[in-house]
Amino acid sequence: MQKIVSPSILAADFSNLQAACEMINQSDADWIHIDVMDGVFVPNISFGFPVMEAIKKHCNKFIDVHIMIVHPEKYVKRFADAGAQMLTFHYEAAENPQEVIDLIRKEGIKVGITINPDVPVAVLKPYIEKVDMVLLMSVFAGYGGQKFIEESYTRLDALKKMVEELNPDCMIQVDGGVALDNAAKLYAHGANVLVAGSSVFKAADPVGMIRRLLEEC
């Protein structure tokens, strides 16, 4: 499967999101990753619809939205209207994950499901055939700049096995602490979409870092 880097705007300078979008536009990244946090499902609050709409205005890449919110079912349409082309919700935050999947499908956009590092990957089994992407969190959702959890490789192996058996077209995304020192290993263990926040935006040359995450890994 094609390798994709999805730079996370959470690590950008929020006082100049237009510049961050333009950097991503001119880079080899195919996607942009947008993290929405509600202060309830996770302890942190990031931003909401108006900011997403501003990003949509300036970014011409595929809009990959990761929602860390309770009651995802209530907001599916709002996220689709705000520009989401892939909407990834947390299994733990949904009372009825199948209902959320159906609502996202109804909007005609791609659907992703994700779990935090303390949730067994086996819970995803009933949903693998129903989604376009599974996101394996390699840090606890809530903050950028955290250290990559090494146990993620074992979890990734188990997930890859399930995906191969049940839905080989399903993409596998990894999010949290992704950088040059682990990207190659993550691709080798079956990931094809890597989210990169701090490693890209704190780099002296973010466009060059995106290229390296694709070409050198």
35 is known as an active-site residue: yes
How far, in whole angstroms, is CA 201 from its chain's centroid? 16
The entry of ligand DX5, Zn ion, none that residue 112 binds, CB within 5 to 8 Å by partner kind: none
CA-to-CA dists, residue 47 to 14, 103, 130, 186, angstroms: 10, 22, 28, 29
**Rounded least distance, CB 33 to Zn ion, Å:** 6
**Rounded least distance, CB 94 to ligand DX5, Å:** 17
Binding residues vs ligand DX5 (CB under 6 A) = 8, 10-11, 33, 35, 66, 139, 141-146, 175-178, 195-199
**Rounded least distance, CB 74 to ligand DX5, Å:** 20
In the bound state with ligand DX5, the residue whose beta carbon lies nearer, of 33 and 212, is: 33
Compute the radius of gyration of the chain from its Cα atoms: 16
Structure tokens, 106? 């109804």
Nearest to 193 by CA among 169, 173, 164: 173
In the bound state with Zn ion, the residue whose beta carbon lies nearer, of 66 and 212, is: 66
The entry of ligand DX5, Zn ion, none that residue 196 binds, CB within 5 to 8 Å by partner kind: ligand DX5
- Out of 28, 35, 118, 157, pick the active-site residue: 35
**Rounded least distance, CB 106 to ligand DX5, Å:** 25
CA distance 78 to 128: 25
CA-to-CA dists, residue 190 to 23, 28, 126, 163, angstroms: 28, 21, 20, 10
In the bound state with ligand DX5, the residue whose beta carbon lies nearer, of 35 and 132, is: 35
The entry of ligand DX5, Zn ion, none that residue 152 binds, CB within 5 to 8 Å by partner kind: none
Provide the 10 A C-beta neighbour count for residue 215.
9
Check if the beta carbon of residue 33 is closer than 8 Å to that of residue 195: yes
The entry of ligand DX5, Zn ion, none that residue 64 binds, CB within 5 to 8 Å by partner kind: none
Among all residues, whose Cβ is closest to ligand DX5? Answer: 197
- Out of 28, 157, 175, 181, pick the active-site residue: 175
CA distance 127 to 91: 10
Enzyme catalytic residues: 35, 175
